[in-house]
């Protein structure tokens, strides 16, 4: 299971419902054995991508290749993929073992073999004791695990998960995230996980594909998306961020300045060739994370500006300050996050302070 | 209710009781009086007896009518459940022509029974079909079809679409999906619809009178008996039919409550 070979490739895939387009010319490669998360707000087309791959909907244009073979027209029940549905879709008239064994029994596998593999799968999801229960007698988290066991028992090449944690409460959702990740490592199967929750995506994915309005905006590791967003949408959608609008200045090696309301800000452009080639004067944003922003000290030359603390919010391990900066310290709202201390914040509401961020912690996105 | 002032609550309770008594007390009169003997047109309240029921059991006309009713009921149930389910499945999967189909299925149920009966009678004469139990069964099926259809369709619409998708996704073909997923999930609705259909067929009078041949069903028999004046066996018969119908309705309700709710309640 090398992560470098492509398992599934979408080429120029489009989908419309009637005259309403929902996916525009999508290209996406899923690597064998990876945990790929498709992340996007509702209406971004993320669930449609999953349904097209699963065969639940026909393509409008383009093709889907599995190991290089076109499977665009392969019927759903012949595709070696299984889905965990958002509402779990457990069969209410069957017991847990009936549900889990369904995929094997429709393939006319011998009863003994089915019983053995069902027991194995239930063991894997830690539901051995519940084999004879009906879905209505299980909790949300247990149903979810039954759905997972039912999907993986047929040993699919790819498991498709459609927001499977959305219906669970926060604590259970955290547990299930770890659980899913550990199962994925254990069975070494490729997972395609659809969600609108960026925290969920960061926690589980090897790679994340961010979608918006039927387009893929960026595909990369959580780290890449967090620190090198390639567009305003990703920069704003993925984690908290400070975006300051301005005009690009001339390239200075691996850095580039941008003229903003906060003055001239210097940001890193390493590994982002499109920012090297963008013309001078082009509209862009300086992007820096709340945890990169800090009180300036005497050594700071670049990226220094003043701001007034409008609000301080204690959030447990960290404290978040809302800061107004720019003209008259009112034009630009920024956030600053610092570790909380037991003897109270060193910042005071209403105070005007000098702020800064290191050039290598700032990035640029084109407007 | 606790928000209402006390006098209004009492007033509402009184109205409710009055309506209930007015509506339902007539139903109890024949049941009670079936246990007493009627002589010279007056009920003799002094000595309760089961003699009317004994007389009923010895009445061969009634027993023959009962047998006819059961035969008609069973045939009607089979025909209406099969065709009602097929129609519901067809309707559920279709996007055009839905409302017309729906309208046609509901028409015989909504029309006055005498109109449906006459229409059927004329139709049978035109195609040269002799009036018999067959025509009665056809008449009843046309009448009760809407109930079975509606019951099954509602279950079908409340069934999550992802159940069918999950079945295909797990490798099942259309045939397996139908027999192992769709049908088992419809079965309680089909049983509930069947019981309602049987109760309707059991009570149906108007259409039956028009399209039957020489044999009569229980309600038709009852109708004929009443023309000769009230007799104690009529009270007994009404009491029995009433109890049987109530029993059927309770049974039907049991099957039509969604399974999940029933399990969660336990």
Summarize pLDDT for A185-220 with one digit per residue, the tens: 888 899 999 999 888 888 889 999 999 999 999 999
Instruction: Please tell me the predicted confidence (pLDDT) of residue A151.
Output: 93
Give the domain-ending residue among A227, A262, A296: A227
Q: How confident is the model at residue B52 (pLDDT cuts 50, 70, 90)?
A: confident
Check if the beta carbon of residue B185 is closer than 8 Å to that of residue B194: no
Whether residues A43 and A91 share a domain: the answer is yes
Mutate which: A17, A96, A136, vs B, most B CBs within 10 A = A136
pLDDT at A154 over 50: yes
Over chain B, what is the mean pLDDT? Answer: 84
Mutate which: A50, A102, A108, vs B, most B CBs within 10 A = A102
Whether residues A184 and A327 share a domain: the answer is no
Question: Using one digit for the tens of pLDDT, what is the confidence trace for A251-295?
Answer: 988 899 999 988 889 999 888 888 888 889 899 999 999 999 988
Instruction: Please tell me the predicted confidence (pLDDT) of residue B259.
Output: 52
Per mean pLDDT, which range of A90-99, A217-226, B142-151, B216-225 is the poorest?
B216-225
pLDDT at B5 over 90: no
Question: Using one digit for the tens of pLDDT, what is the confidence trace for A109-150?
Answer: 999 999 999 999 999 888 989 999 999 999 888 999 999 999
Top-confidence residue, B58 or A63:
A63
Give the domain-ending residue among A227, A250, A281: A227
How big is chain B, counted in residues?
266
Whether residues A35 and A121 share a domain: the answer is yes
Average pLDDT, stretch B38-61?
75
Q: Which chain A residues are within 8 Å of B166, Cβ to Cβ?
A: 83, 85, 89, 91
pLDDT at B95 over 70: no
Q: Which chain A residues are within 8 Å of B171, Cβ to Cβ?
A: 77-78, 103, 106-107, 154
- When divided into structural domains, chain A yields a total of 2
Q: Of B104, B182, B179, nearest to B149 (Cα)?
A: B104
Cβ-based burial of A223 (10 A; exposed 0-12, middle 13-18, buried ≥19): exposed
Whether residues A171 and A304 share a domain: the answer is no
Out of B160, B163, B171, whose CB is closest to A77? B171
Whether residues A98 and A198 share a domain: the answer is yes
Instruction: Please tell me the predicted confidence (pLDDT) of residue A28.
Output: 93
CA–CA distance, A241 with A338 (Å, rounded to integer): 14
Pair of tokens at residue A236: 């704003």
Instruction: Please tell me the predicted confidence (pLDDT) of residue A367.
Output: 83
Check if the beta carbon of residue A311 is closer than 8 Å to that of residue A349: yes
Q: How confident is the model at residue B258 (pLDDT cuts 50, 70, 90)?
A: low
A235 is a domain residue = no
A234 is a domain residue = no
CA–CA distance, B246 with B68 (Å, rounded to integer): 21
* Minimal-distance CA residue of chain B relative to A83: B169
Average pLDDT, stretch B55-84?
90
pLDDT at B2 over 80: no
pLDDT at A328 over 80: no
Cβ-based burial of A57 (10 A; exposed 0-12, middle 13-18, buried ≥19): middle
Give the domain-ending residue among A169, A203, A227: A227
Out of A56, A77, A154, whose CB is closest to B173? A77
Pair of tokens at residue B170: 């797990």
Q: How confident is the model at residue B263 (pLDDT cuts 50, 70, 90)?
A: very low
Most confident by average pLDDT, A159-163, A252-256, B24-28:
A159-163
Instruction: Please tell me the predicted confidence (pLDDT) of residue B266.
Output: 36
Whether residues A219 and A260 share a domain: the answer is no
Over chain A, what is the mean pLDDT? Answer: 90
pLDDT at B232 over 90: no
Q: How confident is the model at residue B40 (pLDDT cuts 50, 70, 90)?
A: low
Whether residues A113 and A200 share a domain: the answer is yes
Contact call for B163 and A89, based on CB within 8 A? yes
A301 is a domain residue = yes
Q: Residues of chain A whose C-beta is under 8 A from some C-beta in B?
A: 54-56, 75-78, 81-83, 85-87, 89, 91-93, 102-103, 106-107, 134, 136-137, 150-151, 154
Instruction: Please tell me the predicted confidence (pLDDT) of residue B41.
Output: 63
Contacts (Cβ under 8 Å, ≥6 apart) of B26: none
Residue contacts between A and B (CB atoms, under 8 Å):
67
- To the nearest whole Å, the CA of A58 is away from the closest chain B CA by 14
Contact call for A134 and B166, based on CB within 8 A? no
* Minimal-distance CA residue of chain A relative to B177: A106
Contact call for A137 and B263, based on CB within 8 A? yes
A195 is a domain residue = yes
Range of the domain at A355: 240-366
pLDDT at A336 over 80: yes
Contact call for B169 and A102, based on CB within 8 A? no
User: b vs e for A234-245, b when ≥16 Cβ sit within 10 Å of the residue's Cβ?
Assistant: bbebbbebbbbe
Q: Which chain B residues are within 8 Å of A103, Cβ to Cβ?
A: 170-171
Of all residues in chain B, the percent with pLDDT exceeding 90 is 33
- To the nearest whole Å, the CA of A212 is away from the closest chain B CA by 25
A150 is a domain residue = yes
Top-confidence residue, A295 or B78:
B78
Could you give the domains of chain B?
6-44 (no CATH), 51-265 (1.10.3720.10)
Contact call for B165 and A89, based on CB within 8 A? yes
């Amino acid at each position: 299971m090398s992560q470098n070979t492509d398992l599934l490739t979408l080429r120029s895939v489009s989908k419309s419902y009637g005259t309403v387009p929902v996916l525009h010319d999508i290209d996406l490669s899923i690597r064998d054995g990876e945990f790929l998360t498709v992340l996007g707000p509702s209406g971004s087309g993320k669930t449609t991508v999953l349904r097209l791959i699963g065969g639940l909907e026909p393509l409008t244009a383009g093709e889907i290749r599995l190991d290089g073979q076109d499977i665009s027209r392969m019927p759903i029940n012949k595709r070696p993929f299984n889905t965990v549905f958002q509402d779990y879709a457990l069969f209410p008239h069957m017991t847990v073992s009936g549900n889990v064994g369904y995929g094997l029994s429709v393939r006319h596998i011998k009863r003994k073999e089915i019983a053995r593999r069902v027991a194995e799968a239930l063991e894997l999801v830690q539901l051995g004791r519940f084999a004879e229960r009906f879905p209505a007698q299980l909790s949300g988290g247990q149903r979810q695990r039954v759905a997972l066991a039912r999907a993986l028992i047929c040993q699919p090449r790819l498991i498709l998960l459609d927001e499977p944690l959305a219906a669970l409460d926060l604590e259970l959702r955290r547990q299930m995230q770890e659980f899913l990740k550990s199962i994925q490592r254990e069975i070494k199967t490729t997972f395609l996980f659809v969600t609108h929750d960026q925290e969920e995506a960061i926690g589980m994915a090897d790679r994340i594909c961010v979608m918006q309005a039927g387009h893929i905006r960026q595909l990369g590791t959580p780290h890449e998306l967090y620190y090198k967003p390639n567009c305003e949408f990703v920069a704003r959608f993925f984690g908290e961020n400070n975006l300051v609008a301005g005009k690009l200045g001339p390239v200075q090696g691996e850095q580039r300045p941008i003229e903003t309301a906060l003055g001239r800000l210097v940001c890193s452009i390493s590994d982002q060739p499109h920012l090297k080639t963008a013309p001078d004067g082009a509209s862009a944003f300086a992007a820096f994370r709340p945890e990169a922003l800090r009180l300036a000290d005497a050594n700071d030359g670049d990226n220094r500006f003043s701001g007034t603390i409008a609000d301080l919010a204690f959030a447990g391990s960290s404290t978040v300050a809302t800061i107004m900066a720019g003209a008259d310290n009112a034009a630009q709202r920024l956030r600053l996050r610092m570790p909380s201390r037991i003897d109270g914040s060193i910042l005071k509401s209403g105070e005007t302070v000098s702020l800064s961020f290191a050039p290598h912690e700032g990035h640029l996105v084109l407007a | 209710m606790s928000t209402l002032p006390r006098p209004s609550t009492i007033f509402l309770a009184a109205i409710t009781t009055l309506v209930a008594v007015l509506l339902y007390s007539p139903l109890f009169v024949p049941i009670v009086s079936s246990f007493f003997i009627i002589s010279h047109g007056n009920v003799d309240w002094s000595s309760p007896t089961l003699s009317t029921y004994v007389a009923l059991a010895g009445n061969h006309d009634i027993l023959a009518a009962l047998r006819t009713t059961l035969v008609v009921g069973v045939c009607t149930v089979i025909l209406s459940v099969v065709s009602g389910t097929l129609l519901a499945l067809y309707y559920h999967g279709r996007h055009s022509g839905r409302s017309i189909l729906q309208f046609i299925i509901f028409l015989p149920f909504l029309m006055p029974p005498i109109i449906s009966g006459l229409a059927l009678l004329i139709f049978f004469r035109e195609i040269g079909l002799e009036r018999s139990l067959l025509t009665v069964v056809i008449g009843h099926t046309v009448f009760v079809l809407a109930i079975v259809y509606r019951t099954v369709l509602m279950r079908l619409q409340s069934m999550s679409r992802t159940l069918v998708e999950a079945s295909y996704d797990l490798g099942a073909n259309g045939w397996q999906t139908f027999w192992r997923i769709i049908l088992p999930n419809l079965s309680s609705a089909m049983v509930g619809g069947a019981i309602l259909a049987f109760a309707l067929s059991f009570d149906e009078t108007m259409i039956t009178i028009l399209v039957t041949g020489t044999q009569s069903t229980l309600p038709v028999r009852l109708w004929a008996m009443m023309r000769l004046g009230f007799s104690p066996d009529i009270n007994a018969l009404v009491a029995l039919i009433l109890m049987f119908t109530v029993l059927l309705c309770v049974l039907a309700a049991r099957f039509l409550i969604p399974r999940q709710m029933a399990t969660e309640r336990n």
